[in-house]
């Protein structure tokens, strides 16, 4: 009789442990779902625009590339990194003017990098975002001294060339981005 009771208690203990483990797994899943919902409910600060769960701000003033980057950083953001054609299309419609983006070859001429350190597809993206017959960008001013070094990139919406390199001292608007 005692052996039978012991075996029943062992079986109950195993079942209770399994139920506990299932409840723990459900708790983890529920917590993850809650966090995902919280993320979806996040909004952008006043004046910012959300696209694909990222907040964008078009500056109201103009300045150099570095001024734009510093302004973005003061807002808890940075200059925009364009990582897809979808984002490029959104930004071209969003800005409707020349604006600084977070792409530069300041560190090493011809080695274009995004401010987040990514450089593996820069040439391809420059090619993708240039209009037909305009494959000369980036051109570092074409060697013409009047343009100087062109080490910072901009979105250019008035031609088919969507990106262009310019002297970083030009006075342009800029686009900041951050996650909410």
The SS3 assignment for 147 reads coil
Q: Which of 81-85, 145-149, 176-180 has the lowest mean pLDDT?
A: 145-149
| Count of other CB atoms within 10 angstroms of residue 60 | 7
**Structure confidence by residue, pLDDT tens digits, 122-172:** 444 554 444 444 445 566 655 666 666 788 999 887 665 578 888 999 999
Whole-number pLDDT of residue 123: 42
Residue 99 near residue 174, CB atoms below 8 Å: yes
In this prediction, residues 43-51 reach a mean pLDDT of 92
How far is Cα 38 from Cα 147, in angstroms, rounded to an integer?
48
Topology of domain 49-178 in CATH is Mannose-Binding Protein A; Chain A (3.10.100)
Q: What are phi and psi of 63, to 5 degrees?
A: 180, 180
Report the 10 Å Cβ neighbour count for 55. Answer: 21
């Amino acid at each position: 009789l005692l052996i039978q009771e012991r075996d029943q208690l062992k079986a109950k203990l195993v079942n209770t442990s399994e139920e506990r483990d299932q409840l723990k797994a459900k708790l983890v899943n529920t917590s993850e779902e809650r966090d995902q919902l919280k993320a979806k409910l996040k909004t952008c600060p006043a004046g910012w625009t959300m696209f694909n769960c990222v907040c964008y701000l078009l500056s109201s003033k103009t300045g150099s590339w570095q001024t734009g980057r510093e302004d973005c950083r003061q807002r808890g953001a940075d200059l925009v990194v364009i990582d897809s054609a979808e984002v490029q299309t959104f930004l071209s419609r969003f800005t409707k003017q020349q604006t600084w983006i977070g792409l530069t070859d300041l560190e090493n001429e011809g080695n274009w990098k995004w401010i987040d350190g990514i450089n593996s597809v820069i040439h391809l993206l420059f090619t993708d975002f240039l209009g037909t017959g305009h494959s000369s960008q980036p051109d570092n001013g074409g060697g013409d001294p009047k343009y100087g070094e062109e080490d910072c990139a901009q979105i250019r919406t008035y031609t088919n060339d969507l990106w262009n390199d310019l002297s970083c001292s030009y006075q342009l608007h800029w686009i900041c981005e951050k996650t909410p």
